[in-house]
Structure 1
């Protein structure tokens, strides 16, 4: 330790080695503390995401109480040449707006529903980001694409991919798909014969930074962009999504295969949460689906009437 003299008094000073030791100790403490801070922040974001999905489930229950069924997954299907039917390209998101405290937005677009497609409705409404549909853990959450706001939460279409043939059947008698939302669907509680606690209603996806990736496109649902299925039976799968040509883009977590417009569509549950994804059940409860979830249990959760018992996980 060096000793210095000033005004007749002795004062000590740090040596360079001692200063470096102190800096090193501070660095170690920060390194130990940072993961804990990050985990606390992620826990908070996960709680917020869970609350979003809970409120969305309750909104669907209120919708069902008003109309005696859940809304359609999307109003029509471009594969069936229904472009003249209005509200063309509308999705379940639009029908839900009055039940998530967005009556003003709904009123702004209501006058256009019978005359023009959803992607041409009031631009201010379309480009408004609703935090209730955004997972705060997703770095690309709250994306505004070409048509408007794209969210993180999709409706359960069932186990199989959505195809033209299935859409045609679903539009007439609801037998083509085994989830809750699809083309012109009108599923109600009595259709969920497995029980509402054994059937998923919503799940989350990771949003893309790429403009031409349309997953979660709430304002232009012509390729089933607001619904998910379980073709590959895996949460956070590295298998590719199947999308209509021009409707998708690769990401590090989401490779895609673009197919002709007449082919099927398959979007899968993914999230930025560690170890799994958040999902709403049809009883409006929220669960965390781990990456280790059995493929069969995952399919059972999506199928509203397969008669299978869903075990705890």
Structure 2
């Protein structure tokens, strides 16, 4: 009896030991496999993000052929942006038919359309659930005659933004820099302009040397050096909101201090324009860099060491200094 009981206990103990060993092996294997799986997912998200931006690039070129110029970066009265203008050229014909430029993007007429997520405007590496509810009264040019009621729409996100000028640090970028320092309004030389379609012959630096749209992912959330900040950054919760494909599609670009990700750039090697701040320059949730769309429809992955002066030259359409891909 005792021998039988002893045998039972030894078998039970052995079985428990085998379970512990097996569990340990599972943990070890999982520890080895998980980073590989995570890396594969990150690579897939990066590729899809690039492909989405390429689709937008094709849409821009098709738009230019029809309209003899690139879309307006923003339409101010009624309020809208390049995202809405691009819809029929990126496989969104039905949404395009439903959208009316005679009303603001947040107007009840456009509410359902503006709240529709469009895959081409989203980078899958970005945080989810980022729609921003915006409220505003109708613009003076809107066909909606109600000028007192605040209309609301929970706009669908866009991870891609155009430039509304370039703010050069007060110290400038050397004696050969062709434009003023200071406010972005002093440097309105980007590939898209307000309320009009810029002809490509005004992009004298060359289409392959001039930035059209950058990845500025994570909006309307604010992200600094990989950490989410408080609030919604520069995005006002009104009709001027950025980070939404139907809303204003542009914001001033400028470098920031690499150390804190928030202080204005100083025009030296401490400047950062990639993955330091998603309110002012290039920002992606990818290791080592983010994507940029050029006026010829090409998409390039730019690294985190891109300097402020080179970025400013790439954004500027007519500075006279054409850059090749080996320059950055």
TM-score normalized with structure 2 length: 0.69
Using the TM superposition, give the Cα deviation of residue 237 of structure 1 relative to its aligned residue in structure 2, in angstroms. Answer: 8.0
Identify the residue that residue 207 of structure 1 maps to in structure 2: 219
Alpha-carbon distance between aligned partners in 2 of 1:192 and 1:310, rounded to the nearest angstrom: 13
Identify the residue that residue 150 of structure 1 maps to in structure 2: 157
Identify the residue that residue 184 of structure 1 maps to in structure 2: 195
* Contact residue 135 and residue 141 of structure 1 kept, 8 A: no
Tell me which of 281, 286, 291 is aligned to 1:273.
286
* Contact residue 130 and residue 142 of structure 1 kept, 8 A: no
Using the TM superposition, give the Cα deviation of residue 91 of structure 1 relative to its aligned residue in structure 2, in angstroms. Answer: 0.8
Using the TM superposition, give the Cα deviation of residue 96 of structure 1 relative to its aligned residue in structure 2, in angstroms. Answer: 0.9
Aligned pairs for 1:252-291 (under 5 A) are: 267-291=280-304
Using the TM superposition, give the Cα deviation of residue 204 of structure 1 relative to its aligned residue in structure 2, in angstroms. Answer: 1.5
CA spacing shift, 1:16–1:192, aligned 2, 3 Å: same
Identify the residue that residue 253 of structure 2 maps to in structure 1: 230
Using the TM superposition, give the Cα deviation of residue 145 of structure 1 relative to its aligned residue in structure 2, in angstroms. Answer: 3.0
Aligned length: 262
Secondary structure, aligned partner of 2:66? helix
Identify the residue that residue 129 of structure 1 maps to in structure 2: 117
Identify the residue that residue 205 of structure 2 maps to in structure 1: 194
Q: Which runs of 5+ in 2 are unaligned?
A: 6-10, 135-152, 169-182, 222-230, 265-275
Secondary structure, aligned partner of 1:273? coil
CA spacing shift, 1:68–1:47, aligned 2, 3 Å: same
Identify the residue that residue 262 of structure 2 maps to in structure 1: 239
Alpha-carbon distance between aligned partners in 2 of 1:307 and 1:201, rounded to the nearest angstrom: 17
CA spacing shift, 1:44–1:299, aligned 2, 3 Å: same
Secondary structure, aligned partner of 1:119? coil
CA spacing shift, 1:128–1:268, aligned 2, 3 Å: same
Aligned pairs for 1:66-145 (under 5 A) are: 66-76=66-76, 86=77, 88-110=78-100, 113-114=101-102, 116-120=103-107, 121-140=109-128, 143=131, 145=133
CA spacing shift, 1:72–1:270, aligned 2, 3 Å: same
Alpha-carbon distance between aligned partners in 1 of 2:43 and 2:164, rounded to the nearest angstrom: 29
1:116-161: CA deviation from partner (whole Å, max 9, x where unpaired): 3232032211111111101100113662533322211112334238
Aligned pairs for 1:159-178 (under 5 A) are: 159-160=166-167, 177-178=188-189
* Contact residue 90 and residue 117 of structure 1 kept, 8 A: yes
TM-score normalized with structure 1 length: 0.72
* Contact residue 194 and residue 306 of structure 1 kept, 8 A: yes
1:219 aligns with 2:207: no
CA spacing shift, 1:238–1:157, aligned 2, 3 Å: same
1:211-236: CA deviation from partner (whole Å, max 9, x where unpaired): 76643133343xxxx21443216899
* Contact residue 256 and residue 263 of structure 2 kept, 8 A: no
Aligned structure 1 segments of 4 or more residues deviating by more than 6 angstroms: 233-237
Alpha-carbon distance between aligned partners in 2 of 1:286 and 1:308, rounded to the nearest angstrom: 20
